[in-house]
Amino acid sequence: MRFLETNASRITALDFSRTKIDDASLSSLAQIPNLSLTELCVGFCRLVTDKGVSALCKAQPSLKLLDLTGCRSVTDASLESVCSACENIRILRLGECRVTDLSVCKLKSQHGLRQLDLNAPYWVTSQGLSQGLCSTTSPLTNLTSLNLARCSSVSDSFIVEMTCCIPHLLDLDISSCSIGNASLRAISARLTNLRRLRLAWCRELTDSGLLGTVDMDFQFPHDDDGDDELGHSLCTHLHHRFPHIFSLPKQASKKPLPPKSEHDLNEAEFRPLTNLRSLQLLDLKYCNRITDQSVSQVMSFNEMRCLCLSLCTKLTDVSLAAVSVGLPNLEELHLALLGSVTDAGVREISERLHRLSYLDVFSCDQLTDRTIDSARYSTTPIRPCVVLMYLCAVCTGISEYAGFKLKRDLDHLVLVNRQHQCSRKPVQHLQKNVKSHMFFGCYIL
């Protein structure tokens, strides 16, 4: 406090994320004379509640960035305080906060809002979001970034409406939302400036959505939530066969079609995913109904830097061939748990994608030591291929010796290849790896 009081006139941004700051401290801080904050981050501060946020907003109305991510005690009262006191707010992060439709609908007054993070808003529905973001009188047309990940109540109706009202989005995360091909077609047709699109765990998406075509009459049966087609457990990574207790229905029951909306696309307006020419990041993790048929046709993005196809279990080397040709500037590729991918597909990736610096082939069981060799000997006129690989125990065809040879030849490589062993040794190795390389990533389902 003494430091802040002394330097109040020069301080505009403070970050207290993951500290024990509480409401009393936040109120005292906000009322320091001559302090005019434009940015404040108190993410994952468990002791911050509505009382502290209200005092902050009243004392610091000039705030442009407010990060309340992970503050589980923050509710509708906090969002209402922000909407009433902070007219200049530009970036608002409310991930995992306990806000509902009652306060989200009041976001329509924040015309200057640029970035909104409502990650895991379990009490927010499409109706509340529609009223707050897509108001007929004042939609938030300046919004460029929207995160609705893990909002299971978000449906096609809101996404289709949102693409009409907020056409300038650059970053959209609707992972684990209850959306289907209608949403993807609307995104592809209308959000043409989009740079980052995250659709992970949207299991209703099919080839028709990626290709921008009319949905097929038949339905693919859903895979069980815990197992893949062969009965392999996806949650524990233990590849054993488990019998299904209940048989899946032979034909999915037909759901009644939703009523037509004024925002719906006509069939003539359908566009494939390639219509998003500026796309730099695409996450399709566990969209396990898509196949080579669509992926091989839509992988054509000159600006693409990061692609995630992990757990898309129907993909094969055909898709990898399309990726190697259509994404020339790709730097990061996730292929974890693709059981049909072989050495030939990875070799083509290594030979063609010269900017690739991150390759995740976790649990691709058909890969062998030949994949390691393709990473060792694939070169460009400028420098050797730089590949960061995750080759864990379930890559049964890759020997530990091959991994050590690759690590020796590419001294910049961070290689996780010791989980062939049991007990606590892998954990000890990972801790050592973090200290020695100062960089480490882990694969999280």
Tokens of 372: 């390691």
Q: What is the pLDDT of residue 122?
A: 84
153 in a structural domain = no
pLDDT tens-digit map of 25-46 = 999 999 999 999 999 999 999 9
Least-confidence region, from 81-85, 159-163, 227-231, 339-343: 227-231
302 in a structural domain = no
Number of folded domains that form the chain: 1
Given a contact cutoff of 8 angstroms between Cβ atoms, the answer to whether 336 and 366 are in contact is no
28 in a structural domain = yes
218 in a structural domain = no
Quickly list DSSP for 175-232: TT-B--HHHHHHHHHH-TT--EEE-TT-TT--HHHHHT-PPPSS-PPPPPSSB-TT--
Given a contact cutoff of 8 angstroms between Cβ atoms, the answer to whether 55 and 26 are in contact is yes
Estimate the share of the chain in helix, then strand, then coil, as percent rounded to the nearest 5. 30, 10, 55
How many Å apart are CA 76 and CA 247, to the nearest integer? 44
187 in a structural domain = no
How many Å apart are CA 363 and CA 299, to the nearest integer? 23
224 in a structural domain = no
**Domain span holding position 1:** 1-92
Region of residue 363 (left: phi > 0; alpha: psi -120 to 50; beta: else): left
Rg over alpha carbons for the chain, rounded to the nearest Å, is: 24
Q: Which residues contact 7 (CB under 8 A, 6 or more apart)?
A: none
CATH number, domain of 28, equals: 3.80.10.10
What b/e string do you get for 16-37 counting C-beta neighbours within 10 Å, with b at 16 or more?
beeeebebebbbebbebeebeb
Q: What is the pLDDT of residue 361?
A: 87
pLDDT tens-digit map of 70-101 = 999 999 999 999 999 999 999 999 999 999 99
45 in a structural domain = yes
Least-confidence region, from 195-209, 248-262, 320-334: 248-262
Is pLDDT of 253 > 90?
no
Mean pLDDT along residues 132-141: 92
Mean pLDDT, the chain, whole residue set: 83
Model confidence, pTM: 0.83
66 in a structural domain = yes
